[in-house]
Amino acid sequence: MSAVQTLEPLPRIIDSRPERPVPAPIEISLPEPTTPEGPKPKRRRAPYVLGALVLAAAAGGGALYMSKQGKESTDNAQIEGHVSNVAARVPGQVVRVLVKDNQQVQAGDVLVELDDRDLAARLAAARADLAAAEASQRAAATQLALTEKQAHANLTIARGGVAQAAAVSGTTEAQIDQARADVTAALSRQSLARIELARTERLVAAGAVAQAELDARRAAADQADAAVTQAQARVTSAEASRSNSSGTVEAARGRLLSAQSAPEQVASARAQQELATAKVAQARAAVDAAELAISYTKIRAEISGTVARRTVEPGQLVSPERPLMAIVGLDDTWVVANFKETQLADMHPGQKTEIAIDTFDHVALTGHIESLAAGTGSRFSLLPPDNASGNFTKVTQRVPVLIRLDDRRGLTLRPGMSAEVTVFTR
């Protein structure tokens, strides 16, 4: 069986153009549709697929929610490390620069050398001053020892002089007494000789005694007069000796008083020695300072690491306030993660962390919280916010958290690298 479908001509559009002949209808023969014999139509699967998708989404959402429980994450984290700024300790002119940018150095390596001629001259002058101070110290020590010995000897001599002067004075008094006694005796003999002479003169005048007896009596009288004169002279001499001995005693006492000031003289000499010792210490300190200054002409690395930001060149004048370069220690690095204040409730030191460094996409490092900062980052900024100014806008603050890495896995972590940190709080 076949069906004939007749195609009707399109309706005519009336216009002013002349009519054209209408073509005859075209007959097309189409095969008659047949119903194939086969399996029965399947049931609709769309509801089941939709339900499965809903269940999968719910399970995924639940798993995602559960996976975020007990964790706090942030991508506001970076690697930190020790950065040692290298500067000159003394002003001077650079003679040699021994390192280049990004060069590895060890602690104690010489990085820069300065001209040390001026400081060497100062060191020589300081050493000369030290030698002079030491010589003065030795002279003061010798003078102290000499003063101590002389003071003791002078005191002994002065005491002996006083005793001797006192003894001489006593002897002189005895001599005076003896001389006075001799005068008295001489006067007595003189008186007796005169009496004898007068009696003899009367006897001679009477013719009872010879002239020779009178001459003898006159000679005895003259001797008695001479003896009186001598005795009086001895008295005068003894009194003069007493005056001299009195002066000697006073002089001896004066020397004794002078010798008794020996402790003060020793103390003065000891003070001179102490002053000389202090000058030696001062000169030695000047030598140490000069040696230290000349050692500063060799600028050394304080830590081991990599040279960065080198700005020094030979011939340049440098001073302590201007850094010459920086050394970054790559052996000791850590992570500082800035968590929101709303994430800190369950954080404490010792909790495990997972760190993903942006530079190493497929490496996850482990670590632990070492400490939490005492304040927010904004509180320690150059211009901390003043919420009492009346223009307050509440902003969620961030608190730096220091994280130590348990194992770097041989990776070189440079300060400033970005990282993502996850803290397992439960």
- Helices 117-206, 211-260: crossing angle, 10 deg rounding: 160
- Give me the pLDDT at residue 263, please: 75
Contact (CB, 8 A) for 411 and 358: no
Which of 162-176, 185-199, 231-245 has the highest mean predicted lDDT (pLDDT)?
185-199
Single-letter residue type at 119:
L
H/E run at residue 340? strand 323-340
pLDDT 10s digits, 299-342 = 999 999 999 999 999 999 999 999 999 999 998 999 999 999 99
State the Cα–Cα distance between residues 408 and 405, nearest whole angstrom: 7
- Assess whether pLDDT exceeds 90 at residue 174: no
State the Cα–Cα distance between residues 231 and 313, nearest whole angstrom: 110
Structure tokens at 396: 């969620």
Domain-by-domain residue ranges, the chain?
70-115+303-383+394-424, 119-280
Which residue is it, tokens 């069906």?
Answer: 3
CATH topology of domain 119-280: Helix Hairpins (1.10.287)
- Assess whether pLDDT exceeds 80 at residue 204: no
Which of 62-66, 239-243, 349-353, 405-409 has the highest mean predicted lDDT (pLDDT)?
349-353
- Assess whether pLDDT exceeds 50 at residue 270: yes
70-to-66, 347, 413, 423, 425 alpha-carbon distances in Å = 9, 10, 28, 8, 5
State the Cα–Cα distance between residues 318 and 253, nearest whole angstrom: 72
Single-letter residue type at 172:
T
State the Cα–Cα distance between residues 274 and 262, nearest whole angstrom: 18
Which residue is it, tokens 């992570």?
Answer: 335
- Give me the pLDDT at residue 149, please: 75
From 343, 366, 335, select the one nearest 353 (Cα to Cα). 366
Lowest mean pLDDT across 7-11, 240-244, 363-367: 7-11
Architecture of the domain defined by 70-115+303-383+394-424 = Beta Barrel (2.40)
- CB atoms < 10 A from the CB of 383, how many? 6
Lowest mean pLDDT across 26-40, 65-79, 94-108, 122-136: 26-40
State the Cα–Cα distance between residues 252 and 166, nearest whole angstrom: 9
Radius of gyration of the CA atoms of the chain, in A: 65
Higher pLDDT: 422 or 23? It is 422
Percent of the chain with pLDDT over 70: 76
According to DSSP, the β-strands at 298-300 and 418-424 are unpaired
pLDDT 10s digits, 38-93 = 455 555 666 667 777 888 888 777 666 655 568 999 999 999 999 999 999 999 99
From 367, 348, 340, 369, select the one nearest 356 (Cα to Cα). 367
State the Cα–Cα distance between residues 328 and 227, nearest whole angstrom: 119
Lowest mean pLDDT across 24-28, 82-86, 264-268, 281-285: 24-28
From 228, 252, 248, select the one nearest 240 (Cα to Cα). 248
- Give me the pLDDT at residue 225, please: 80
- Give me the pLDDT at residue 261, please: 64
Structure tokens at 149: 């010995």
H/E run at residue 264? helix 262-295
Q: Confidence band (pLDDT; 50, 70, 90) for 15? A: very low
